Amino acid sequence: MNRGGNIFAGMVITVLLVSIFLSGCGSSSTSGGKESKELNVFNWTEYIPEVTIKKFEEEYDVKVNYSMFSSNEEMLAKVAAGGGIYDLTMASDYIVPAMVERDMIEPINLENISNFDNLLDDYIDQDFDSGNKYSVPFMGNTLSLAVNPDSIGVDVSEIKSYTDLWNPELKNKLVVLDDQRMIIGMILKSLGYSANDTDPKHLEEAKKKMVELLPNIKAFDSDSPKQMMVNGEASGGLVWGPEIALAQREGGNFETIIPEEGLLITMDNWVIPKGAKNKDLAEKFINFILEPEISAEIAQHQPYINPNKEARKLIDEEILNNIAIYPPEEEIERLEYIKDIGESIQLYDRVWSEAKGSQ
């Protein structure tokens, strides 16, 4: 999954693109005072198993038109162009304020979401959406580091910091996220700065250091980096923690390393696009997803950080104890969230494009 960075770049969408998506998502109208029988959900790839969607359809006698995106940019552009076509979508925490500012999402009626009470206090009423007026937490993940001790070519005990990724012995061995906020954020942390730093001088330092890292990067991949880890193409991964867990599940021999600088974290949240035609049904879907059994089922299939305290009682201990997914208790206070940096995102865009363009 790509939760990339140039947030509102490319939001000028042609009329043709709008018509394609209008024709592809099905009817979502309401007539005669009866609830629509269709719900248009727009979500990340590989985030909700099909069996969960089927259960909601059967319980509420509705059809879910489920479409997927692979980057925040794609989601934002299509929601902006959709004119209410989507009833529900997903937004990373640092994107919610920007969507509110641009009047892109509707307030959520928490009275219709009784299962909101199942959420842990640590994940609600956050600075990006005080009182959860516009968003409801779904799942999250950290930017995590893992290496295959059999093929990495260096002693794993020597890899303790982000700075160790610049070791020339790791040439062409790493798969990293194609996500500018996360990768530039990691580099900033390796320099001793905040992952949300907006000082132009610090970002210029980060650009130079990213160029120096490029020889060690075999591929940028946010959609399914675990594949390169499992098939042996990559000996190390700076990727979403759940991708490491899934690689381990599929037989990859990878050890997770907690960098000395601390982990970066981001949470994804349900939001209702402005003009959604089936807002009530969208809130029913959110409430359904927060049912402990349903939430746990999703976490078993896609092992992301689950903020649902009742669901955690039903999740396998093997998942809950995997530090690629759930950081150790002593790391919690050191977690750094990616935040909305406003217009400074343009600096990140430039650093990212210039560094990658130097290859």
Residue numbers belonging to the annotated binding site: 46, 94
Q: 313 in helix, strand or coil?
A: coil
What gap in Å lies between CA 193 and CA 177, rounded to an integer? 20
Bridge partners, 174 (sequence order)? 217, 236
- Closest by CA to 291, choosing from 141, 124, 43, 117, is 117
Angle at 65 between CA 59 and CA 83, to 5 degrees: 125
Which one-letter DSSP state was computed for residue 98? H
Rounded to whole angstroms, the maximal C-alpha distance in the chain is 68
DSSP H or E segment with residue 242: helix 241-249
Sign of CA dihedral 54, 60, 63, 68: negative
List all residues 6 or more positions away from 298 whose beta carbon is below 8 Å from its beta carbon: 48, 49, 52, 139, 289, 306
Angstrom CA distances, 234 to 225, 238, 266, 285, 286, stand at: 9, 11, 24, 38, 37
What gap in Å lies between CA 131 and CA 124, rounded to an integer? 8
Sign of CA dihedral 5, 7, 12, 18: positive
Angle at 66 between CA 42 and CA 278, to 5 degrees: 70
Q: Which amino acid belongs to residue 30?
A: T
Q: Are 155 and 302 in contact (CB under 8 A)?
A: no
Supply 77's token pair: 């552009």
Binding residue numbers for spermidine: 46, 94
Supply 41's token pair: 């959900």
Q: Are 287 and 46 in contact (CB under 8 A)?
A: no
Q: 247 in helix, strand or coil?
A: helix
